[in-house]
Structure 1
Amino acid sequence: MNRTIRTRTAVAAGAVALVAAALGAFTAGVGVARGDDEQDRRNKAAQREVAALFDQWNATLQSGDPEKVAARYAADAVLLPTASPRIRTNRAEIADYFEHFLQKKPYGERLRSVVTVLDADSAIDAGLYRFHLTDPGTGAAEQVDARYSYEYEKRGGRWLIVNHHSSVLPAES
């Protein structure tokens, strides 16, 4: 009888250990799920933060100051601009581009945006935008649809554009 009680006690203890292990794994799984939810929340917040960078850049265009616009770019940034065939590879060249572009009083309207957060310090915003421009000579208004990509890096705690490509959207064929 003693042996039977010990066997049953051992089986019961083993069952409790298995249940505890299973619950531990389940609880760990729930923790991971909560961690995934937390990560999703952080990622969405980072995506909103990066998406807002376009609005800040666009507001800087409204200042009419090419130096303020160029300050949104890293010193070693590359700009492939919408309205120029020249690649701009430093702050002075970027400011020069905007000195001419800002004469058209541009206002950007984002049509579609896909933000990809690569890590805590880098992200890409790519999509379509429309520029509302005014001819400085005639005052005539025009709209230019373009595709864009901004690559951002956080440097010194500040998001800067390190690569910006913009090209006129081709007509559908």
Structure 2
Amino acid sequence: MNRRPRIRAVVAAGVAVTALGTLAAGMGVAQADGKDRARERDVRQGKVTEREIAGLFDRWNAALRTGDPEKVADLYAEDAVLLPTASPRIRTNHAEIADYFEHFLQKKPRGEKVRSVIHVLDGNSALDAGVYRFHLTDPKTGVTKAVDARYTYEYEKRDGTWLIVNHHSSVLPAEG
């Protein structure tokens, strides 16, 4: 009886087990920084990151600070829907959205996120929902007050540009 095939099989199995052990040991290191590597890969491949989506609020907030309603409205898609905080009217086109901001900007709003939950849906769409706080100045008295509101932004990348397609904002109700 020839024992060589059995010996080869045992040696081959030992090599496979050793290779698996080496691979498993290396995975501990890979898992520790795996998220960082995945983020770097996503950025290199042009994938959307939560940080990128969070930056869209900063862009919107900066447009508010210009005081120009057209600059703010330009961040919305032509077919966007705005359910604004300070108006009962639903705004569904550029002119209506610009009109809302013409009045809202008189209060010199300065926004800040209190809590944000971002969901990247795919390479061209994302949601950002949470609570933000606006510091609003009464144009008559000059008194500034803080107003907390719930928000949802739905973003779509169209022709390479992120636009707001749906924005809902409502004053945060009192606990009760």
Equivalent residue of 2:173, what SS?
coil
More deviation, 129-138/59-68 = 129-138
The residue type equivalent to 1:69 in the other structure is V
Equivalent residue of 2:49, what SS?
helix
Aligned length: 170
**Equivalent of 1:155 in 149, 154, 158:** 158
Distance in 1 separating the partners of 2:74 and 2:86: 20
Equivalent residue of 2:97, what SS?
helix
Q: TM-score, normalised by structure 1?
A: 0.83
* Residues 98-121 of structure 1, C-alpha deviations (whole Å, 9 max, x = no match): 011111111112111111111111
Distance in 2 separating the partners of 1:34 and 1:90: 47
Structure exhibiting the larger radius of gyration computed from Cα positions: 1
Deviation at 1:125? 1.0
Equivalent residue of 1:87, what SS?
coil
Deviation at 1:22? 4.6
Distance in 2 separating the partners of 1:77 and 1:35: 39
**Equivalent of 1:89 in 88, 92, 97:** 92
Deviation at 1:140? 2.4
Identity of matched residues, %: 62
Aligned to 1:116: 119
Aligned to 2:102: 99
Q: TM-score, normalised by structure 2?
A: 0.81
Compared CA separation, residues 89 and 15, structure 1 to 2 (3 A): same
| 1:3 corresponds to 2:6 | no
Deviation at 1:46? 1.1
Aligned to 2:38: 39
Compared CA separation, residues 14 and 121, structure 1 to 2 (3 A): same
| 1:58 corresponds to 2:61 | yes
**Equivalent of 2:138 in 135, 138, 142:** 135
Distance in 2 separating the partners of 1:129 and 1:59: 15
Deviation at 1:127? 1.0
Structure 2 spans left out of the alignment, 5+ residues: none
Structure 1 spans left out of the alignment, 5+ residues: none
